[in-house]
RNA sequence: GCCGAUGUAGCUCAGGGGUAGAGCGCAUCCUUGGUAAGGAUGAGGUCACGGGUUCAAUUCCCGUCAUUGGCUCCA
């Protein structure tokens, strides 16, 4: 009996019943068959050598498909497990999935400690095993059989996993001398793995719960060609060059000091210049959008946060309260600006005619993040939010929300941030006690966000369980140089705080009504935003943002005075210029300016001094010819205007 | 907080039980130059900090602090 296989291009072929995807591949070409890692049968990813029993849509998956890659990586995890079991016969296995790049396996090594010095021998053994071209053999087993297997092996983690599986649905995979509980699928044989590298070690709690035992997680990555590994490692190296911690230090933007305290960044003059410009840019946009600036203190009475609910939720994990000398008073470093802004709202009676009221503040907040979580400028203990709170009537929520979306998009566009993900963060449906506020309000808030996002035409993903404890939110996520995801902009709808603070306004009906709050921060925090910005542009900021715009390079010391004159003139045009007065050749001065990514260089010598001109050079592009100072200033202005999309 | 790694000159890093090394940067001098590295000389270090082993520790061991890759958490 034959079955009909439909390939992705729509073509149909007939095969004997029970043929595998591999047979189909062989039929098409041997070369293709060699590259097949797995198959998608009617949308389900399966082993390429598993028989197909009825008519099906089939795609053959290779290294060029994401599912092909992840299958290979998952199989590589099994291969690593096999090697580990040889070196550490008593090892117990947790889980070993593929991840975005590569794979890991969580293992319990008992008394043994693995260090990265052990990587080489494990890698070598894995490659040996790979060369044996051992097939990954799938076997359906009964639950009893499976339990017996792991009882004998003494692997309590697999037993725990088995506990949750239904009988009749359990499969083992075996390659070489290693058998694992696994749903699959796997690549046909270990020979497809030609290159691999173990990347790092980490402690990982069993099932991600810090009350459980910590296992050793070994990360690795594998490839079908040695060249691919080389390319990947090169890419990693390149990414590390963009790391904001490295560039921030080189460019003199910020610093940390153990004497000040971990996670407490200090902005150096150049970093402060950059940040100020970003702040002013946003302030201007906000002024136009009807925001009002407010300023609030860095500390607040403990009761303020008891009222807001932050204390109950985070009090014990925060910087502890400050005690005053005489009275029994307690103050907290502010972890949030919203309670202060609520009090400003309450400072006088409000009418519906006043709404929406939009209070904006670059508010510095302090949060006691866990020491192991601190990371450059992206995760710190003191940072400044570009915060604002919009108090509006319930029927204004959607419109206000959409306005904020537009503001965020405007800012991202201006800075050419185009590779972000918009994420709608909702409640965890199984964990209601994590949140405050009524069911009804949560539903209203979630509905408002979903509708705004739909109407704004945003491409978005929904993440359950990622909401703030007082409300759902829309987050703008970006990746840093090493691929980690960070939240930048955030917009949150909140019905709870207005209730807790008993905020109200008088409506047209002369009755008291409760406003709705929208929390929002387009950058998120200045620290994190600048970090991501540095990595995004590899330290080559747009001209309007760069701390220095022009360096004037006298051809010899004789022209230092003319250079200073030029610098003075440029300052009149509000252009930030420096003079390189060093006793160096002009070639050297150019090289140094290029390396430090100075956007423009002006070379001045006899010719320029005589004609009252400058010879301009653009970073990364080279000589732009000579021109008058006025013409150069015009050039700079035009470039800045086009960056900021204004005329 | 937990698991692993790291900490040597301003920066990047080598070294190793017995006077501490390189490149870059910095300073001084020579050179006065035309679009990506001119030359000479010199200054810089309690080898993160605290204990221990040793005749002797920067090196080996333990602890602390900081940094770092993850895990957990994230208003």
Residue entry with tokens 């150069």: A632
Q: Which has the closest alpha carbon to A385: A207, A524, A528? A: A524
A108 CA to B57 C1' in angstroms comes to 36
Active-site hit among A40, A92, A245, A473: A473
Instruction: Give the whole-angstrom CA distance, residue A126 versus residue A452.
Output: 52
A445 close to A485: Cβ distance less than 8 angstroms: no
Q: Residue A559's beta-bridge partner residues?
A: none
Is A389 a catalytic site residue?
yes
Is A549 a catalytic site residue?
no
Instruction: Give the whole-angstrom CA distance, residue A627 versus residue A609.
Output: 12
Q: Which has the closest alpha carbon to A130: A72, A84, A79? A: A79
Nucleotide nearest to A434 (CA to C1'): B75
Per-block mean pLDDT, blocks of 10 residues, chain A (647 long): 87 88 90 91 90 89 93 95 92 92 91 83 92 93 92 90 87 93 92 92 89 91 93 86 91 89 92 95 96 96 93 87 85 94 96 96 94 92 96 94 95 89 88 82 89 90 89 90 86 93 96 96 95 92 94 94 95 94 94 94 95 96 95 96 80
A553 CA to B32 C1' in angstroms comes to 14
Q: Which two tokens stand for residue A344?
A: 């400003």
Angle, vertex CA A492, rays to CA A486 and CA A496, nearest 5: 135
Q: Residue A98's beta-bridge partner residues?
A: A103
Which nucleotides of strand B come closer than 7 angstroms to any CB of the protein?
1-5, 11-12, 26, 29-38, 65-75
Is A338 a catalytic site residue?
yes
Is A385 a catalytic site residue?
yes
Query: Could you tell me which residues come within 8 angstroms of residue A504 by beta carbon, excluding any fewer than 6 positions away?
Result: A350, A512, A513, A514, A515
- Does ipTM exceed 0.90? yes
Is A536 a catalytic site residue?
no
Active-site hit among A519, A536, A551, A589: A519
A570 CA to B46 C1' in angstroms comes to 49
Sheet holding A473-479, edge to edge: A292-293, A357-366, A382-392, A516-521, A485-494, A473-479, A421-426, A460-464
**If you measure CA to C1', which residue is closest to nucleotide B1?**
A370
Active-site hit among A367, A379, A536, A597: A367
Active-site hit among A338, A342, A392, A537: A338
Reported pTM: 0.91
A584 CA to B37 C1' in angstroms comes to 10
Nucleotide nearest to A592 (CA to C1'): B36
Instruction: Give the whole-angstrom CA distance, residue A232 versus residue A56.
Output: 36
Nucleotide nearest to A375 (CA to C1'): B68
Residue A611 pLDDT: 95
Burial (0-12, 13-18, 19+ Cβ within 10 Å), A404: buried
């Amino acid at each position: 009996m034959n079955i009909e296989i439909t390939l992705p291009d729509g073509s149909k072929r007939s095969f004997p019943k029970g043929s595998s995807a591999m047979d189909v591949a062989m039929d098409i070409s041997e070369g293709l068959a060699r590259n097949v890692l797995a198959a998608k049968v009617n949308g389900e990813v399966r082993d390429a050598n598993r028989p197909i029993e009825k008519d099906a849509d089939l795609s053959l998956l290779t290294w060029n498909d994401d599912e092909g890659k992840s299958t290979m990586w998952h199989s590589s995890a099994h291969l690593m497990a096999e090697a580990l079991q040889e070196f550490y016969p008593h090892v117990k296995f947790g889980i070993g999935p593929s991840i975005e790049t590569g794979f890991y396996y969580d293992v319990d090594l008992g008394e043994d400690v693995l260090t990265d010095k052990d990587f080489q021998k494990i890698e070598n053994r894995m490659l040996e095993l790979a060369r044996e071209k051992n097939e990954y053999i799938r076997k359906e087993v009964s639950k009893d059989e499976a339990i017996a297997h792991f009882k004998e092996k003494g692997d309590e983690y697999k037993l725990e996993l088995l506990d949750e599986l239904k009988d009749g649905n359990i499969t083992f995979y075996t390659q070489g001398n290693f058998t694992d509980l696994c749903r699959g699928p796997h690549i046909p044989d270990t020979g497809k793995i030609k290159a691999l590298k173990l990347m790092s070690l980490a402690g990982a709690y069993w099932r991600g719960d810090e009350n459980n035992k910590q296992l050793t997680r070994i990360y690795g990555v594998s490839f079908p060609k040695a060249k691919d590994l080389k390319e990947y490692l090169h890419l990693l190296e390149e990414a590390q060059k963009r790391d904001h911690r490295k560039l921030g230090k080189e460019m003199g933007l910020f610093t940390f000091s153990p004497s000040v305290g971990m996670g407490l960044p200090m902005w150096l003059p150049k970093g402060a210049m950059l940040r100020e410009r970003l702040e002013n840019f946003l302030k201007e946009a906000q002024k136009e959008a009807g925001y009002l600036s407010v300023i609030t203190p860095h500390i607040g009475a403990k009761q303020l946060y008891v009222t807001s609910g932050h204390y109950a939720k985070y009090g014990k994990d925060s910087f502890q309260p400050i005690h005053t000398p005489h009275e029994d008073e307690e103050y907290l470093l502010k972890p949030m600006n919203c309670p202060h802004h609520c009090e400003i709202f309450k400072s006088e009676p409000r009418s519906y005619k006043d709404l929406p009221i939009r209070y904006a503040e670059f508010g510095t907040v302090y949060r006691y993040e866990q020491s192991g979580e601190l990371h450059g400028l992206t995760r710190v203990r003191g940072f400044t939010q570009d915060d604002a709170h919009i108090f509006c009537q319930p029927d204004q929520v959607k419109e206000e929300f959409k306005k904020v979306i537009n503001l965020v998009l405007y800012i991202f566009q201006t800075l050419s941030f185009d590779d972000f993900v918009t994420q709608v963060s909702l409640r965890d449906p199984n964990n209601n006690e994590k949140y405050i506020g009524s069911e009804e309000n949560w539903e209203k808030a979630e509905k408002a966000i979903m509708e705004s996002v739909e109407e704004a035409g945003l491409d978005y993903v929904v993440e359950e369980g990622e909401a703030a404890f007082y409300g759902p939110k829309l987050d703008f996520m970006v990746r840093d140089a090493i691929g980690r995801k960070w939240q930048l902009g955030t917009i949150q709808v909140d019905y709870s705080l207005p209730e807790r603070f008993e905020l109200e306004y008088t409506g047209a009906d002369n009755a008291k009504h409760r406003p709705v709050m929208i929390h929002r921060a387009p950058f998120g925090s200045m620290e994190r935003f600048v970090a991501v910005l540095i990595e995004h542009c590899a330290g080559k900021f747009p001209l309007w943002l760069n701390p220095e715009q022009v360096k004037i390079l006298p051809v010899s010391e004789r022209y230092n005075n003319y250079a200073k004159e030029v610098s003075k003139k440029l300052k009149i045009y509000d252009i930030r210029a420096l003079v390189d007065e060093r006793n160096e050749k002009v070639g050297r001065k150019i090289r140094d300016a290029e390396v430090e990514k100075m956007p423009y260089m002006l070379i001045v010598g006899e010719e320029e001094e005589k004609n009252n001109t400058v010879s301009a050079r653009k970073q990364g592009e080279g000589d732009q010819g000579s021109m008058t100072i006025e013409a150069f200033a015009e050039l700079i202005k035009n470039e800045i205007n086009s960056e900021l999309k204004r005329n």
